[in-house]
Amino acid sequence: MDQTKKEFIEFMMESDVLRFGSFVTKSGRHTPYFVNTGNYKTGKQIAKLGSFYAKLIKETAGSDFDCMFGPAYKGIPLATAAASALYNDYGIDKPYFFNRKEEKDHGEGGSLVGYKPKDGDRIIVIEDVITAGTAVRETMPILKGAADVSVQHMYISVNRCEFGQDPSKTTVAEVMDEFGITVHPIVTVADIYEYLKESGKYADVLGGMEEYMAKYCVL
């Protein structure tokens, strides 16, 4: 496992974002681990998180995109942090925007805040985790309704590697097939499992993860 992945897993655990126990995902699956980016709550944490995202964006898309979108609600601080880190770490200055859950009917109105996308824009999406792909399917109509844009890349903290509507392929693969979006995770569930196994401290967690991965994951 490369050093960046190891550091990110440790960072999530130290921040109480990667947790182990008994949880239910948005898709209704009972899982022994959970990633809650809502637990990031300090300036140091969000700055460090932004740098992890920025590094991955720099390595994959570079500066070959026009703007960044963070879906409400958890995607809002993620996109903001990634945009800031891209500039501070690499000198790449890109606009970002996000949506409101409810459209505003006063002031400037509308459902989008920040940059206003225009026809031809190439957008990258910053999210936390993909499990069943529900958030992606909610996001695309918002972006396509704003302008004639394209989305080629999505960046997430963790790829849970779980199958979606088709049991033979992961949700990430479905997103690629359905929308033409390449999803880039900082780490995968396989990386997390490998880290826990190598550490030798999480024997009580490994069994549950193995069972869950065998039931829901396509690796």
Q: Which residues participate in catalysis according to the annotation?
A: 104, 106
Measured distance CA(215)–CA(207) in Å, rounded = 12
Contact (Cβ atoms closer than 8 angstroms) between residue 65 and residue 123: yes
Measured distance CA(23)–CA(176) in Å, rounded = 27
Q: What are phi and psi of 98, to 5 degrees?
A: -150, 175
Angle, vertex CA 9, rays to CA 83 and CA 137, nearest 5? 55
Measured distance CA(77)–CA(49) in Å, rounded = 10
Radius of gyration of the chain (CA): 17
Measured distance CA(126)–CA(129) in Å, rounded = 10
Place of tokens 């790449």: 92
Q: Which two tokens stand for residue 108?
A: 């400037």
